[in-house]
């Protein structure tokens, strides 16, 4: 029975690792300014988490936990490093700590928006992306060889779809 439980936890951990690795890696690279060091720090963080074996059931809290754990592991790495080229200066570490939460929110928000945009039909997505790039309805219609009413319909339907998809994430 314990073996089955351990396999379930391991499976959950591997799934979360696969889902979150790229996002966590970019987050760590922004802190450490080195892809190689970021990968090492992520491995250290997962090892620490695995020894604690937290519950992998509450995904929103787990994501916050992972970002916080990665931030702390990265900052510990910076503090422990004897290399003068890394961020030893306390002012940089202070600024880093202040901006981490905002960057975490930005990463998550962009991922959610991109995921929602990917769920639009190809034509609706193309129209919506043109609108996001600042084009007017008339320009979009001309560029895509469709009517202005079709552009308006795509934008309206896309806005409704995105609101519906993103509403659960707005506090």
Q: Report the alpha-carbon angle 56-119-28, nearest 5.
A: 45
DSSP the chain: -HHHHHHHHHHHHHHHHHHHHHHHHHHHHHHHS-HHHHHHHHHHHHHHHHHH----S-HHHHHHHHHHHHHHHHHHHHHH---TTSS-SHHHHHHHHHHHHHHHHHHHHHHHHHHHHHTS-HHHHHHHHHHHTT--HHHHHHHHT--HHHHHHHHHHHHHHHHHHHGGG--
Per-residue pLDDT for the chain (171 aa), expressed as one digit of tens each? 445 445 555 666 678 778 888 889 988 998 888 899 999 999 999 888 877 765 555 556 778 888 888 999 998 888 777 555 544 565 566 677 777 777 887 888 888 888 898 999 999 999 999 998 999 999 999 999 999 999 999 999 999 999 998 888 776
Residues 6+ positions from 125 with CB-CB distance below 8 Å:
117, 118, 158
**What predicted TM-score, i.e. pTM, was given to this entire model?**
0.46
CA torsion sign for 41, 42, 45, 50 is negative
């Amino acid at each position: 029975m314990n073996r089955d439980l351990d396999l379930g936890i391991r499976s959950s951990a591997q799934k979360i690792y696969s889902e979150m690795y790229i996002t966590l890696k970019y987050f760590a690279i922004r802190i450490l300014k080195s892809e190689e060091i970021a990968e090492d720090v992520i491995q250290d963080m997962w090892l620490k988490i695995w020894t604690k074996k937290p519950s992998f059931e509450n995904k929103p809290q787990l994501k916050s936990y992972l970002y916080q754990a990665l931030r702390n592991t990265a900052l510990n790495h910076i503090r422990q490093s004897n290399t003068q080229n890394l961020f030893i200066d306390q002012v940089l570490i202070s600024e880093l700590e202040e901006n981490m939460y905002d960057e975490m929110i930005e990463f998550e928000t962009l991922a959610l928006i991109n995921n929602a945009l990917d769920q639009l039909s190809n034509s609706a997505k193309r129209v919506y992306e043109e609108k996001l790039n600042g084009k007017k309805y008339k320009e979009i219609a001309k560029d895509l060889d469709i009517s202005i009413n079709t552009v308006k319909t795509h934008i309206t339907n896309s806005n409704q779809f995105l609101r519906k998809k993103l509403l659960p994430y707005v506090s």
